[in-house]
Amino acid sequence: MASLTGKVAWVTGAGSGIGQAAAVALAREGASVVLTGRRKEPLEETAATIRKAGGKAVMKPADLMKSSSVSAVAREIEAEFGRCDILVNNAGLNIQKRTFADLTPEGIDEVVHGNLSSAFYCTVAVLPMMRRQKDGILIHTSSVAGRVPGPLSGPVYSAAKHGVVAMSHTLNMEECVNGIRSCAVLPGEVATPILDKRPVPITKEERAKMAQSEDVGDLIRYIACLPAHIVINEVMINPTWNRGYVASLQRAKD
């Protein structure tokens, strides 16, 4: 029997990239997976992949930057399944005009709400179910930028992802007595569609050397399968060919 048989996993940002890979990996372990994202078509692709392999998936499209939409999805999950065992808080975004010289209030709001507010909304929405169960795990896709500020991702994205890490750690501080665990996953560069928002284009060759969505999805699956008495508070995953390291080595030679 797969280790997540009978479990219900809610995966946000499930239409592409890390979210899609995590959803497929969790379904492969036997979980019934709830797929959420803003656009229905990508969710249909993820659901089809899962069902083709014999897994269970339902789609719940929603704009996670709206708390009312998040609450509505959580109510539907509770009504349909009666539980939520795993939340993969993966939805996120970035903007091209991300330096302080280019930032606008609208851009700031979009990045903060898309990465941090949405994660809080989903977390608060599932906690009542997990508290009743005295069990549950929340896995949040942060970023290396959530630990190491730098110009590549921009100040707002970095600040929002730092907030996700802080949220995850404080969840463990408060909810450990309820059997609830929280893990912040901090990927470095991953070849996902978010790279298309980079001000400087990323080549096909560079993307091939990066971590792939499936690598991070498998890590999320591993975390979700850990026994209930164990929590990985925070984990960083990077490509071996780390472009930051390579650039530093080159500068050291110059």
Cβ pair 143, 173 in contact under 8 A:
no
Q: How far is CA 162 from CA 110, 138, 140, 149, 186, in A?
A: 16, 16, 12, 9, 10
- Find the catalytic residue in 121, 157, 222, 245: 157
Is 157 an active-site residue? yes
Cβ pair 19, 11 in contact under 8 A:
yes
Question: How far is residue 157's CA from residue 159's CA, in Å, rounded to a whole number?
Answer: 5
DSSP character at residue 117: I
Q: How far is Cα of residue 31 from the mean position of the Cα atoms in its chain?
A: 17
Residue 12 in tokens: 């946000």
Catalytic machinery residues: 157
